[in-house]
Structure 1
Amino acid sequence: MSGLTDAVRTGRTDEVVRLLDGMTDAERRAAFPELKQLRKELRPRRWESDAVRAYPALHLAGAACQTGAAGVASWIAAADLQWSSSSRSDLLLHVLGDRDPAWLAEVTRRLAERPAASRVSHELMAGLVRLSGHPVPTTDAYVRGWVERIGSTCYRGDTVLEQLRRDPHLVRLVAALFETDDIGSRMQWGAAEGPNSWTDAIARLTVEGALDRTATVDACVARLLRGGTAADHRVFLRLLKTLALTGDEQRERTADWLALASDAVSVVAAHAQSVLGALAAEGELSPRRLSEMSAAVLFRTEKKLVRAQLVLLGKVLARDASTAGELLPVVAQAFGYDDPDVQERALKLAERHLGKVTSAEVRAEVADAAAALIPILRTRAVGSLGAAPGAGDAAASPDVLPPVPVPLRLAPAPGSAVELAEELGAVLASSGDVAAFERALDGLVRHVHSDREGLLEALAPVTARRWWNDAHPDHEYHQPAEHYYGASFHSLHDAEDALDLVLATLAGHCTTARLHRAVVQGARERSCPHSALARAFEARVWEVAYRIRTDPLPFLLSTPTWSTGLLEPDELVERLDAYQRLGARPAAADFAQALLRVRRADRVAAAAAAARAAALGTPEGTRLAAWLVSEAPSLPSRRRRTSGPRVLIESAELLELQEDFPAEFTPLGRPVGVFDGRRYCQHWSDELRPHWLALLPERRELVAVRVLLDLSRVSVDDTRGVGFLPLLAESGGEAGEAVHLCLAYGLGARHAEDRLAAVDALLVLAARGELDAARLGADLAELVRGAAVKPQRLADSLRTAAATGANATIWGLLGRALPPLLADLPTAGTAGRGLGELLTVASECAERSGARGDLPHLAQAAARRGSSRLVTQARRLRSALTEGVAA
């Protein structure tokens, strides 16, 4: 038995097979404990050469030396044994082939029921099926493996059709395809269409009779009804089209087409709509069925489907006048659709065919539905449909804005080390927000000062899971913290990294000399817009870590009072007083951060706190007093600059942030240039931006000007990342040019979730009375004209904001944004695209808010020829502004 283990250990697979062939079942079972021990021995060093050599033979021998089906399946599928080239399937089949067929079937079942991610060899499972003679399993893992195997062999000249023809389990496995989720992406490997595709092969086999046509069609339709991924929809819809259903087959499944047209994804719904349209054209679809279908399709958001349905209804109404009484009430449902073009199409249908209706009730129903039309169309419906006139002129209605966000007061740091450890674990797992980070950092400082040993004991479960801990079992490429925080590397990429530095220091993984260098030398200068913000954030964390090692602080002076980062002056005075009583020496970066956070905008409270601070008689008290009575937070002078399609801002220096502040904080007051700092930037994590805002809670413009280039990329370069915009809106200080430009870029972002964050920020600023609609409108016009913001994306954002009730606000900024864009129409290129969408939003907001007046250049746009969206919406907006039509 030791001979088998020796052969396995040295990777002599052929010898292992010979030894296994000569062993009885009892001898194999007796050998298994040694193999199990060898696996345990190799697992911690599975990347080393001797382990790599042994694993294939170990995989083979361990499977052969067990008698339980569950144990064999578990061994074969084990992740630590599967990572290598593993045993060849033919060898596994050889050593297992003499077992009872029922036992082999049980092993096959257990392997097939494992998740597809286990990557069990399909060749092995198929071989076991062949040896057992039992039915083939149809689990997710088996079917995916079958599809992948057929797809891979196509590269060797064998076609999908030929392989399926030879497969003895064809019917059972093809039926399983329709029951397997997300199989479409694998079926598209190789050829998505054509003679070597899955869809063509299955259709051909159906024609040949190898597959039952009715069963295949039913399964395909059922699969589309069930839904799934986009790839599934593409594959099974392509198969359905390739099967080329006959008229009878289509009529038999009318209920299915109705369900697909109502609820399926757009591409599938469009096909069902075309099938039903063909049936309706042949008179095979009753008016009642067509009415049911139309009611569902006209409720969908896809304008293409809605327009196609109105076209279909128009054809049926033109061919058979008797259907008007049944179909026109459904047509009238489109009067409330959010696209004015759809409303107008529906109105034209009603106007053309209402005379064919004899029922007074139906005519009244259609006329009443006209109340949902936009004002200009409703006015038309008064004459053409006999609709009731509108309510007349509407007075301007106030906006419905969300409540002003209220900052949350930070709770005290956790009172016990155990509570702190629990919260710290949660913060590290989620990266946390500003409040969670600040509480955790202050809690660490407090408990180090009061009971270092108790804190270390409580933190043991947390630190054991950190990457820098020598005992961490899951990191193969482990590097100690001292190496990571090397002599030339100071950047902390996020709040988690900052807490890791403090924890590593506390656990002895970072030397005092290294910490001292970081505090004395500071981070090296980096030429990027964020450098000043990052250096100030990092300086405090490095200083905290150094003081933990050398002279623990009793608590932090700079822990904010509020979630925005703001610190109440009375609270800071009390902390300085406590420091004086304890004889504690304040930390320079911590005190500098406290000064930047202390509230100065409330001049009365600041003056009262200044008197108390001066009475302390300490250097920090005197400095705080002078800071509080100095001028309220000011901003440097700024100027706009362009860089390609971007509009950016440069700011001059701010002397008050360069006088009497530590060297790591003085860059906050230095000038910010547009064309400087374009080299590689290490501040790639968006998670630090909220902490930068909390660094300067009464000067958000200083933060905004430094992240403006980043924000421009979400619109110009289609990147992601404006989730902190609502926090920027909730922060303090003037909302000036930089804040409004950040918001403008966010409203034009490529990704919908980023645009939604920008809308939230816009509404917060409006609710706080800090939104300059004229400034934002002018910025948006400039960015659209320069192709930095696409009108369609902007229209989507503004429509979302208006839907919350902020119609007057959105009209206010569009009233400033539209004139320059309309003036450019005679020569507009890219900027003219999508202008009709913006005019649509403007029209809706003007109608709902009761806006009146003249809009420059609107008359010229309304006077243009044609019936394009731009022209029709320009006329609609002119009517709303000049004729006093109310929503």
Structure 2
Amino acid sequence: MHAAATLAALGCRVTSAEVTKALIALWRRQRNSSDWAGPQLDAFAGRDSGWLADAGRRVAAAVPVRRPVDWAFSGHTNGELYRLARGLLWMAGAVPETDDGFVLEWALTKWRRKPERTLTDITHPRRTTAEESVAKAFRADPYTAEFLPRVFDITGFGTFLSHPWHWRAELIALSETGELPRAPLIDRCVDGLLRGGRVIETRGFQKLLDEVEPTEDELAERAHDWAGLAGHAEAPSAGRAVESLRRTPGDSADLLPAVAIAFGYDDTTVQEQAWKLTARHLGTAGETVRTQLIEALPRLAPDLRERAAAALGAQPTATDSEPPPVVVSSPRPTAAAPGSASEAVQEIAALLAVRRPTALDRERAVDGLIRAAYRDRAALAEHLAPVVHRQGWIPGGLNELLRAVLGEVTVEDIPADPGDMSGRADHKRCIPCLYDYLLQARWHEAARRLLTEPVPFLLATPGWSTGALDAAVLVERLTEYTRLGLRADHTDLDQALLRTWLPEPPERDRLATAAAGPGTPDGTRLAHWLNTGGVHAGHHPGARTALPVGRDGFTVAFRHLDQKLDATWHFSTGFRPAVLPELVALVPVFREYLADQLTNPYGYPVFLNEYLADLPLLVEADGPAGPRLNMVFASAIAGTDRADRPAVVDALLQASARGDLDEQWCGEQLGRWTTQRDDMMDVAPVLTEAARAGAYRLVWAACTRCSPPCWPCRPAPANSAASCCWPPTAPPTSAPPAKSPA
């Protein structure tokens, strides 16, 4: 009955645009239904071909491009929308547009899918377990000549060609019988290599190109493409491009300047290939080309540079290989709070529109809301109501605060505690759960305060990009509270203290005196915090770094921080993963505590995949750098994938420049881990990047301390009194001493 009503409603639609909108909405509601597309087409029987063609093209343009990891999934819901679009186009006798989503689904129907040749195959899919070859499916489809080359341009196709379910053999079979000409196939592979991208993406195009086996003539026709690849592609592709140029007949002197770009490759094998090709054609090179080659010599490795300079009749050019000095980064000031009610509402709207807002965006938006409510709550509510009422869901804590601004809740409706964490052993140790819990506790407190005794601003709003807050700013804020006769919210002051960056003793003493001057409990508490130096917890090898939240008047909510938290407690569940900026924003002046939460208490290496992209933020945070922070650095060196490598190298360079990195200890720690594992840890990628950036001390220390377990001792020469070179020094007996903040 429901299906009949749905078809009747579709049949009543007048314009193709209306039908397209209705079909897409219906598809989104029926995503779990297979063979959904066929019955919908019955509603459009009798429509003229122009109407059907326009509707079909509109639906085809709406087919999303699925992620590369989903390409092998035969039951993907995008396929239903594709079949609906193609059915409409079949009915109209029209040729579809080459939209990426539609073309991709068209191609994927050829791989272990129900055969589709006519409209009947779409409206009445055949229930058969027989599968035909990809090549046969492409041969039978009328759109193959137009669509198949287009698939090569879709991001992810190269990755698809790299995997075990690739179509390389089928594509070559099509080229051998003429359905897919060789020239376009080779050109598409070369285009994919020239576009570059991830290594796994270019690797697929390179594999297909190698299996096509271009002839000498086909190579010669694309000599300029090989020259471009030699100068810009990844090392494996660049090496093959140089080899292709070596096989091309005729005079290639005009390509030498492009090939010379490969002189700058870090891979010396590619440099060697490029120089051999260059030397082969030097006799036909004119003076201008020789000058360009001489200018490219400094990019070659030293021994190869000398040989090339001699062949060119030039003097070897000394190069300054010393990289530029590392510029030590520092936290950046945060933007000022919104100045009007409309701006505050815009910040809240932006906050609600983002699926995962940053910690600082949350703080700034809520502080702006509190400020606007204090100035004119009625005006704020007028601007805020439309934004709140069109939201289907608002996070806990923030929802109560927004409803309080609108007057839709009372103090009794807002719980004093967002939830008792003491009885939730599975949540109170989870970093993202505890972060959300503390936010809810603060926002609930702010909502109750707004309804009873509004405050002009929040105390804990950060002033720096790490989440830190200047002690002078906090003293000024509390002084203003005192002037207005206001007390501080308990959790707000708790968070403010844990964010307070402490100056040196003379300035700190002055601020403590100013805070204690009015004689209020809040000022006295801040003065005690300043006088005790923020109570940065001491640490020694084997001890857990604790926070001073178990005393000094902290609420029960913040006392949950004083335990060993777990970043992967809810791994592989529906809970969101932890994010390092959120954890840093809670305690931005306690780096050793933060590092302690990320590392294993027993000194084993840990996987920091969720945190590596933001590791430089941890280096910028304040507080002593001790053994736990160096343990983070060692774990990052030991296990970092390609995507996070730049961030890790940046963090290591920053830590070294600040004096926070103990290179010797990190190298020895890597050596101990290697001994325990009985195999070499893959530290080469990070250390290679670090060496290129100039972190020679770190790289040397890591190599000399980490390599001994895997490098056999070489006996000293007979005429030498030197003993075995390994180990260079005795292994450390304890963790490195803590260092002062940079």
Alignment of 1:87-98 (within 5 A): none
In the alignment, which of 198, 205, 208 is matched to residue 170 of structure 2?
Answer: 198
Moved more, 288-297 or 88-97: 88-97
- In 2, the alpha carbon distance for the partners of 1:465 and 1:72 equals 24
The answer to whether the Cα contact below 8 Å between 1:773 and 1:813 also exists between their aligned partners in 2 is yes
In the alignment, which of 229, 237, 251 is matched to residue 286 of structure 1?
Answer: 251
Judged with a 3 Å threshold, the aligned counterparts in structure 2 of structure 1 residues 132 and 711 are, in CA distance, closer, same or farther, namely farther
**Aligned-partner SS, 2:541:** strand
Aligned to 1:275: 244
The answer to whether the Cα contact below 8 Å between 2:388 and 2:402 also exists between their aligned partners in 1 is yes
In the alignment, which of 429, 432, 445 is matched to residue 543 of structure 1?
Answer: 445
CA drift at 1:679: 5.7
- In 2, the alpha carbon distance for the partners of 1:593 and 1:179 equals 51
Q: What code does the residue aligned with 1:205 have?
A: T
- In 1, the alpha carbon distance for the partners of 2:639 and 2:454 equals 46
Q: Deviations over 1:516-571 (max 9, x none)?
A: 44179665464638598776665434432343345544543444555555545555
**Aligned-partner SS, 1:639:** coil
Aligned to 2:380: 455
In the alignment, which of 695, 701, 705 is matched to residue 820 of structure 1?
Answer: 705
Alignment of 1:511-526 (within 5 A): 512=411, 515-518=414-417, 524=423, 526=425
Q: Deviations over 1:74-123 (max 9, x none)?
A: 36853335754699877777776766666666665555555555867666
Alignment of 1:329-408 (within 5 A): 336-337=298-299, 343-344=302-303, 350=308, 362-363=312-313, 365=314, 367-369=315-317, 371-372=318-319, 400-405=325-330, 407-408=332-333
Judged with a 3 Å threshold, the aligned counterparts in structure 2 of structure 1 residues 573 and 686 are, in CA distance, closer, same or farther, namely same
The answer to whether the Cα contact below 8 Å between 2:297 and 2:305 also exists between their aligned partners in 1 is yes
Aligned to 1:34: none
Aligned to 1:885: none
CA drift at 1:199: 0.8
Alignment of 1:258-657 (within 5 A): 258-263=227-232, 269-279=238-248, 284-286=249-251, 288=253, 291-292=256-257, 294-300=259-265, 305-310=270-275, 316=280, 336-337=298-299, 343-344=302-303, 350=308, 362-363=312-313, 365=314, 367-369=315-317, 371-372=318-319, 400-405=325-330, 407-408=332-333, 411=336, 413-429=337-353, 435-468=360-393, 499-500=398-399, 502-504=401-403, 506=405, 512=411, 515-518=414-417, 524=423, 526=425, 528=429, 530=431, 539-560=441-462, 562-569=464-471, 571-598=473-500, 600-630=502-532, 633-640=535-542, 650-651=544-545, 657=550
Alignment of 1:103-252 (within 5 A): 115=63, 140=100, 143-151=103-111, 152-153=113-114, 156-167=130-141, 171-173=145-147, 192-193=166-167, 197-206=169-178, 244-252=213-221
Percent sequence identity over matched residues? Answer: 27
Judged with a 3 Å threshold, the aligned counterparts in structure 2 of structure 1 residues 74 and 786 are, in CA distance, closer, same or farther, namely same
In the alignment, which of 25, 30, 43 is matched to residue 79 of structure 1?
Answer: 25
| TM-score normalised over the length of structure 1 | 0.63
In the alignment, which of 795, 808, 828 is matched to residue 687 of structure 2?
Answer: 795
CA drift at 1:773: 4.9
Aligned to 1:733: 623
CA drift at 1:795: 0.6
Aligned to 1:758: 648
Aligned to 2:6: 55
Q: Deviations over 1:677-722 (max 9, x none)?
A: 9965899767764454444444332233223349999x74362323
- In 2, the alpha carbon distance for the partners of 1:299 and 1:175 equals 33
Q: What code does the residue aligned with 1:731 have?
A: A
- In 1, the alpha carbon distance for the partners of 2:465 and 2:291 equals 54
The answer to whether the Cα contact below 8 Å between 2:405 and 2:450 also exists between their aligned partners in 1 is yes
Moved more, 134-143 or 325-334: 325-334
Judged with a 3 Å threshold, the aligned counterparts in structure 2 of structure 1 residues 116 and 242 are, in CA distance, closer, same or farther, namely same
Q: What code does the residue aligned with 1:503 have?
A: L
Aligned to 1:700: 591
Aligned to 2:556: 663
Judged with a 3 Å threshold, the aligned counterparts in structure 2 of structure 1 residues 461 and 247 are, in CA distance, closer, same or farther, namely same
Give 1 or 2 for the bigger CA radius of gyration: 1
Q: What code does the residue aligned with 1:757 have?
A: A
Judged with a 3 Å threshold, the aligned counterparts in structure 2 of structure 1 residues 453 and 130 are, in CA distance, closer, same or farther, namely closer
In the alignment, which of 247, 250, 254 is matched to residue 223 of structure 2?
Answer: 254
- In 1, the alpha carbon distance for the partners of 2:185 and 2:530 equals 80
Contiguous gaps of at least 5 residues in structure 2: 66-77, 116-128, 715-721, 729-742
CA drift at 1:459: 1.7
CA drift at 1:421: 1.2
**Higher share in helix:** 1
The answer to whether the Cα contact below 8 Å between 2:640 and 2:686 also exists between their aligned partners in 1 is no
The answer to whether the Cα contact below 8 Å between 2:348 and 2:365 also exists between their aligned partners in 1 is yes
Aligned to 2:68: none
Aligned to 2:633: 743
CA drift at 1:792: 0.9
Judged with a 3 Å threshold, the aligned counterparts in structure 2 of structure 1 residues 239 and 56 are, in CA distance, closer, same or farther, namely farther
Q: Deviations over 1:181-211 (max 9, x none)?
A: 76667889996357xx5313412321xxx66
Q: What code does the residue aligned with 2:644 have?
A: D
The answer to whether the Cα contact below 8 Å between 1:182 and 1:229 also exists between their aligned partners in 2 is no
The answer to whether the Cα contact below 8 Å between 2:638 and 2:681 also exists between their aligned partners in 1 is yes
CA drift at 1:373: 9.5
**Aligned-partner SS, 1:192:** coil
Q: What code does the residue aligned with 1:556 have?
A: L
Q: What code does the residue aligned with 1:294 have?
A: V
**Aligned-partner SS, 1:556:** coil
**Aligned-partner SS, 1:78:** helix
CA drift at 1:595: 3.9
Q: Deviations over 1:137-193 (max 9, x none)?
A: 655566445423333246633334444444456545556556777666788999635
The answer to whether the Cα contact below 8 Å between 2:516 and 2:523 also exists between their aligned partners in 1 is yes
CA drift at 1:818: 4.2
- In 1, the alpha carbon distance for the partners of 2:502 and 2:101 equals 64
CA RMSD, 1 decimal: 5.1
The answer to whether the Cα contact below 8 Å between 1:405 and 1:764 also exists between their aligned partners in 2 is no
Q: What code does the residue aligned with 1:286 have?
A: D
The answer to whether the Cα contact below 8 Å between 2:256 and 2:278 also exists between their aligned partners in 1 is no
Q: What code does the residue aligned with 1:732 have?
A: D
Aligned to 2:126: none
Q: What code does the residue aligned with 2:686 have?
A: L
- In 2, the alpha carbon distance for the partners of 1:176 and 1:521 equals 57
CA drift at 1:274: 3.8
How many residues are treated as equivalent by the alignment? 685
Aligned to 1:880: none
| TM-score normalised over the length of structure 2 | 0.73
**Aligned-partner SS, 2:316:** helix
